[in-house]
Amino acid sequence: MRFHFFKIVLLSLGLGLSVSCQRTWHGEPALQKTMLGVTATIAPDAQAEKTIAPYRAQVTKQMAEVIGVVPVALEKLAVESPVGNFVADLQRIQAEKLTGKPIDLGLMTAGGVRTPLRQGNLTVGDIFELMPFENELMVITVPAVVVKQLLNYASQPHIYPLAPKTLSTSNVAYQILNNQPQNILIGGQPFDSTRTYTIALSDYLAKGGDNLEFITNQVSSQKVGLLLRDAIIKHIKELTAEGKPVEAKIDGRVQVIVPNTPVEPKQ
């Protein structure tokens, strides 16, 4: 009996100690699907649908309004982007209307324009996708050096060949030769390094967003009192009222010159 008692105590002691030492749980990743597709084969959850319904009704009603027609898709392209040209131009035009003053330049980055505009009817919802951000349209006045820095930046090889990084400018024409801007015309006039220029742009870019830190060197700045998205919607509604479609082209405002390649006249 005594023997048994000791045996059990020892056994228990051993067991107790061993469990004590192993008490920590160790996790191992298990074989499992790690990306589950949220696909159309999954029925929507009824409770979630009920929560969404009143919000969706409001959004759908406002988003479905057709405000214009796009005969040819406005793509996001490198060097010159039709949709970038369109937004850069309308920023300048709408800022001129709102401030009653001529504006020298319009500026937009490819990252600021989120989607191309597809061919067909254009709805408010499409413009929300194009410009989801709550950015404000504004006008800044900058010394000429900032315009030069801007075009130098736009002429860097890691910027202009890549659509996602292209800078779109309005009322500016220039050529890129050896990664430098050449023959710069602003409003048809040669670039003047002694004056200031006004630029219509988003408050995001005006604060140096998208790596444009140099643009914060400003003489003055002015908000025009309109969200950029609302300016786009306003512009498209005005075009429609005038019976005009939404169009933008690559119009040669930026040309990349390949050095030492004589331009052959077209046959």
Partner 1 sequence: MKRREFLRNSLMGTAGLSLLGFPFAAQARPKNKKLVILHTNDTHSRIDPFPSDGRANGGMGGMARRASLIKQIRAKEKNVLLLDSGDIFQGTPYFNFFGGELEYKLMSQMGYDAATLGNHDFDNGLAGLQKQLPHASFPFLSANYDFSETILKDKFQPYKVFVKDELKIGVFGLGIDLQGLVGADMYGKTLYLDPVVKAKEMVKILRDEQECNLIICLSHLGYKYDTDKIDDRKLAAQVGGIDLILGGHTHTFLEKPDAIISPGGEETLINQVGWAGINLGRIDFEFSTEGKKKGYAAAVLPVHERTAISS
The residues binding partner 1 (CB under 8 A) are 1, 4-5, 8-9, 11-13, 15-17, 19-20, 22-40, 42-45, 47-49, 51-52, 55-56, 58-59, 62-63, 125, 128-129, 132-134, 203-204, 207-209, 211, 213, 229
Dihedral sign for Cα atoms in the order 202, 208, 211, 214 = positive
Whole-Å CA distances, 60 to 66, 117, 125, 236? 12, 19, 8, 20
What gap in Å lies between CA 201 and CA 213, rounded to an integer? Answer: 14
CA atoms within 13 A on the CB side of 183: 11
Residues with Cβ within 8 Å of 161's Cβ and at least 6 positions away in sequence, in order, are 78, 79
Listed residue (194, 235, 195, 210) closest to 86, CA to CA: 235
For the chain, the straight-line distance linking the first and the last C-alpha, in angstroms and rounded, comes to 115
CB closer to partner 1 out of 56 and 244? 56
Minimum Å distance from CB 104 to partner 1?
24
Minimum Å distance from CB 158 to partner 1?
12
CB closer to partner 1 out of 79 and 140? 140
CB closer to partner 1 out of 52 and 250? 52
Minimum Å distance from CB 211 to partner 1?
7
Side-by-side strand order, sheet with 172-177: 189-190, 180-186, 172-177, 254-257
Minimum Å distance from CB 62 to partner 1?
7
Minimum Å distance from CB 2 to partner 1?
11
CB closer to partner 1 out of 17 and 250? 17
CB closer to partner 1 out of 53 and 241? 53
What gap in Å lies between CA 198 and CA 218, rounded to an integer? Answer: 10
Dihedral sign for Cα atoms in the order 195, 201, 205, 206 = positive
CB closer to partner 1 out of 206 and 224? 206
Minimum Å distance from CB 217 to partner 1?
16
Minimum Å distance from CB 243 to partner 1?
27
Element (H, E) at 211: none
CB closer to partner 1 out of 86 and 204? 204
